[in-house]
Amino acid sequence: MTSTGDDVLLEVHNVVQEFVLRDFGGAKGGVLQAVADVSFDLHVGETLGIVGETGSGKSTLARSVIQAPPPKRGEVIFQGQNLARLPRGALKLARRNMQMVFQDPFTSLDPRWTVAGLVEEPLVAYGEGSREQRRARVNELLDLVGLDPVRYGSRRTRELSGGQCQRVAVARALALSPKLILCDEPVSSLDVLVQAQVLNLFEKLREDLGLSYLFIAHDLALVKQVSDRVAVMYLGKLCEVGPVRSLYSAPMHPYTLALLNSIPSPDPMVSRRESATVISGELPSPLDPPSGCRFRTRCPRAADRCAVEVPEMRALADGHLVACHFPLTGNENGSAPAAASTPAAAAATTSGPAGE
Amino acid sequence: MAATADAAAPDLQLRPSPLLEVSDLRVTFGTRLGSVHAVQGVNLTIEPRRTLALIGESGSGKTVSAQAIMGILPRTARVSGSIKFKGDEIVGRGERELRDYRGRCVAMVFQNPERSLNPTMRVGTQIAEAVGCHLPVSKQEAHDRAVELLRMVRLPAPERRFYEYPHQLSGGMRQRVVIAIALACDPAVLIADEATTALDVTTQAQIMELLLDLQQETGSALLMISHDLGLAASYAEEVIVMYAGKIVEQAPTKELFAGVRMPYTQALLDAIPRIEMEPHVLLPVVGGRPPDLAVIPPGCSFAPRCPRVQQDCQDTCPPLQQHEPGRWWACWHPLGKEPAQ
């Protein structure tokens, strides 16, 4: 998309994922396009955050990347290999470098297995080392995620708290020393203090192991915490992709601004009623998405053109792409909560329009 | 501990005619591993038209307190203390009396609208049922009231929505239906237990605005229960922070966020990723986990995790006291109140 240098880990080109809905008796009821023509890339050591509401297709996008199931159309190029064209054996080898952490650790981990067994399973599946070597690796991994192997190794998930359980899921994902971790809402089921601990763990692992993340969450503030770049998704399409600083301080897509304005601030001095341009309406049905721009039915800036023409992704500033016919230029978004609240943000706000 | 709770009670009575008065509420569950003290001496008052937020982590006792107020605790729970609605004692009432109290006096909106609604019944019928259970109305009147309630919760085309099933509605719309059921008998106090947690951030804003608008329209009081301090800061007038079954800090929202006293509240506040923060900054965290509520240590329950812990914190539990007008905290070494050393 932007560059195809050597440090690109993952390239996703025009990925489309569809599900056929069946009526009674198996008759074709309609086609749900969960991911519609999405392209992005991810560099080595980078974290790309993906935000969007429920039903925006962010989880489906992550699953398309790991080919579970493979996308209907488009290319996923991981470490130079097009995953869609790989035979099964080669795909299995490619997948060891991309692992996933799911939202609910209690349902994604088998309750009958011990912690050590869960962490060892990927090593067994790939025939790694002898039994002793695997045991040693398991202990090393549990240490890495901050669990005492002696104390927790023989426990089962029901004997752990949510945060500890998610640490086990992370240890399991790290077992094969992957290059890329796909995190699908990894902390949204955790309490705020535990959430901070797990977020810090992700940050530490990124630095220590040089990991790249595809970090999916619905919470914009949380995504900002971990990401280098953020992609905003709406109804199966990306609306805006950009570096964290410029996207948050000078959002260009009206949807991004609406999302930013919806976040309750822990500072009551930021008056809610003044700043809130609360987005109205509901997410339209993905079975029958609006023509043209998919956000137009809820967009305050929608015009006739938005109903006719699908907005293409275009770069309006360095690395900052937006799919909108009438992008915000920075003057209107003074009501964004992040704008001008920090010196860095203020600087980015002024540089936003200049970049166009 | 009991003595401190008693000491707190006279101050609370100075406030003007509260709707709901909870004093020294204790809830204990008998389990195989011993008694779990889920709520340990909670005092709170809810006044008309006020919005109060009850904040805490999982297991802090906030939901159990709300369930005690609603009278919907499981039979295994042992409740002591007093819950008075307009002066009438609720604790110890029979099921028949409680049925009149629930719905008309206090109503609750639960976290998960999928689980609060019956998937096999039309949403309108479920609202009409709630109306018919509590008020002496005819079938037609219940129907009309249900449509009116659907309109009140800003559901478009209420006459048509009446005949739809929960699966035909989105999560936000379902929560609106649940709110309509809660409002069916015009309750004086509405309890929203994590009512927006399962919803998207945009829908959350819509539902919170709706709850506040309805509160203005009906003059009811709102008790919002949440784990999200940010949500409380945006929408509540007063915040109560609970930890391990006890209230540890209580203050008007603006004053609380202007200067937190209790280190636990500060830890909660610090752990929230903020939109103003730079990316990749580590969040300040406190280690450890909330204590086991079956074994209560003598000192402050936050002491094992507290960055400001000193010897006296481990010996005696600090009582919840009013230190400044309207500001309560339970801490021997509060923030922003450094003793000369």
Supply the CATH number for residue B218's domain: 3.40.50.300
Instruction: Return the DSSP state at A92.
Output: H
Q: Please give the Cα distance from B128 to B137 (Å, whole number).
A: 10
The pLDDT tens digits of the residues spanning B138-159 come to 999 999 999 999 999 988 889 9
3-state secondary structure of B145: helix
Q: Please give the Cα distance from B65 to A166 (Å, whole number).
A: 29
Which range of residues forms the domain containing residue B246?
Answer: 2-105+187-273+285-329
The pLDDT tens digits of the residues spanning B226-238 come to 988 888 888 999 9
Residue B223 lies in a domain: yes
What residues in B contact A297, CB-CB < 8 Å? none
Q: Is the CB of residue B31 less than 8 Å from the CB of residue B152?
A: no
* pLDDT exceeds 50 at position B86: yes
What Cα–Cα distance (Å) separates residue B341 from each residue in B312, B337, B338?
A: 15, 12, 8
Q: Is the CB of residue B192 less than 8 Å from the CB of residue B222?
A: yes
Residue B251 lies in a domain: yes
Report CB contact under 8 Å: B233, A197: no
* Residue B260 distance to chain A (closest CA, Å): 12
Is the predicted ipTM greater than 0.85, yes or no? no
* pLDDT exceeds 80 at position B337: no
User: How many domains does one find in chain B?
Assistant: 1
Residues 13-72 of A with CB under 8 A from B: 53-54
CB of B287 within 8 Å of a chain A CB? The answer is yes
Residues 92-121 of B with CB under 8 A from A: none
Q: Is the CB of residue A128 less than 8 Å from the CB of residue A134?
A: yes
Give the confidence band of B32 by pLDDT, cuts at 50, 70, 90: confident
Q: Please give the Cα distance from B282 to A352 (Å, whole number).
A: 27
pLDDT at residue number A271: 53
pLDDT at residue number B339: 56
What residues in A contact B285, CB-CB < 8 Å? 193, 196-197, 200
Q: Is the CB of residue A155 less than 8 Å from the CB of residue A148?
A: no
pLDDT at residue number B295: 83
pLDDT at residue number B230: 86
* Phi (first) and psi of residue A103, to 5 degrees: -65, -50
- Positions in chain A whose pLDDT score sits under 70: 1-6, 268-278, 330-356
Q: Is the CB of residue A34 less than 8 Å from the CB of residue A60?
A: yes
Residue closest to B202 by CA, chosen among A244, A239, A253, A260: A260
The pair of structure tokens assigned to A254 is: 């009206």
Report CB contact under 8 Å: B230, A342: no
What residues in B contact A224, CB-CB < 8 Å? 273, 275, 277, 279
Q: Is the CB of residue A225 less than 8 Å from the CB of residue A215?
A: no
Residue B230 lies in a domain: yes
What residues in A contact B265, CB-CB < 8 Å? none
pLDDT at residue number A342: 37
pLDDT at residue number B5: 44
Rounded to an integer, what is the distance from CA B269 to the centroid of its chain? 18
Report CB contact under 8 Å: B269, A266: yes
Percent of chain B predicted with pLDDT > 90: 58
Give the confidence band of B8 by pLDDT, cuts at 50, 70, 90: very low
The pair of structure tokens assigned to B206 is: 């819509």
CB of B157 within 8 Å of a chain A CB? The answer is no
Q: How far apart, in Å, do the first and last CA atoms of chain B sit?
A: 28
Give the confidence band of B338 by pLDDT, cuts at 50, 70, 90: low
Residue B336 lies in a domain: no
Residue B229 lies in a domain: yes
Q: Please give the Cα distance from B180 to B178 (Å, whole number).
A: 5
What Cα–Cα distance (Å) separates residue B65 from each residue in A253, B13, B38, B41, B42?
A: 43, 20, 9, 10, 8
**CB-based contacts of A80, cutoff 8 Å, min separation 6:** none
Helices A131-144 and A115-125, packing angle to 10 deg: 120
Residue closest to A219 by CA, chosen among A232, A235, A205, A204: A232
Residue B321 lies in a domain: yes
Report CB contact under 8 Å: A338, B276: yes
3-state secondary structure of B84: strand
The pair of structure tokens assigned to B72 is: 């919907």
pLDDT at residue number A348: 39
Report CB contact under 8 Å: A259, B269: no
Give the confidence band of B188 by pLDDT, cuts at 50, 70, 90: very high
pLDDT at residue number B16: 57
The pLDDT tens digits of the residues spanning A50-84 come to 998 888 899 999 999 999 899 999 999 999 999 98
The pLDDT tens digits of the residues spanning B226-284 come to 988 888 888 999 999 999 999 999 999 999 999 899 999 999 999 888 888 888 888 88
The pLDDT tens digits of the residues spanning A112-158 come to 999 999 999 999 999 999 999 999 999 999 999 989 999 899 999 98
For B279, the closest chain A residue by CA position comes to: A225
Helical residues (DSSP H) of chain A, grouped into ranges:
58-65, 88-95, 105-108, 115-125, 131-144, 149-152, 162-174, 192-209, 220-226, 244-249, 254-262, 272-275, 304-308, 343-354
Q: CB contacts < 8 Å between A and B, how many?
A: 137
What Cα–Cα distance (Å) separates residue A178 from each residue in A170, A207, B170?
A: 11, 14, 38
Instruction: Return the DSSP state at A280.
Output: P
Phi-psi region of B81 (alpha: psi -120 to 50; beta: other; left: phi over 0): left
Query: Pairing mode, if any, of strands B246-252 and B327-329?
Result: antiparallel
pLDDT at residue number A272: 54
Q: Please give the Cα distance from B312 to B153 (Å, whole number).
A: 51
Helix and strand counts by DSSP (H, E) for chain A: 14, 12
Residue B117 lies in a domain: no
Residues 179-238 of B with CB under 8 A from A: 200-206, 208-209, 227-231, 233-235
Report CB contact under 8 Å: B235, A220: no
Residue B132 lies in a domain: no
Lowest-confidence segment of A4-13, B77-86, B209-218 by average pLDDT: A4-13
The pair of structure tokens assigned to A216 is: 């999916």
Q: Please give the Cα distance from A268 to B297 (Å, whole number).
A: 35
CB of A167 within 8 Å of a chain B CB? The answer is no
**CB-based contacts of B8, cutoff 8 Å, min separation 6:** B43, B319, B320, B321, B322, B328
CB of A219 within 8 Å of a chain B CB? The answer is yes
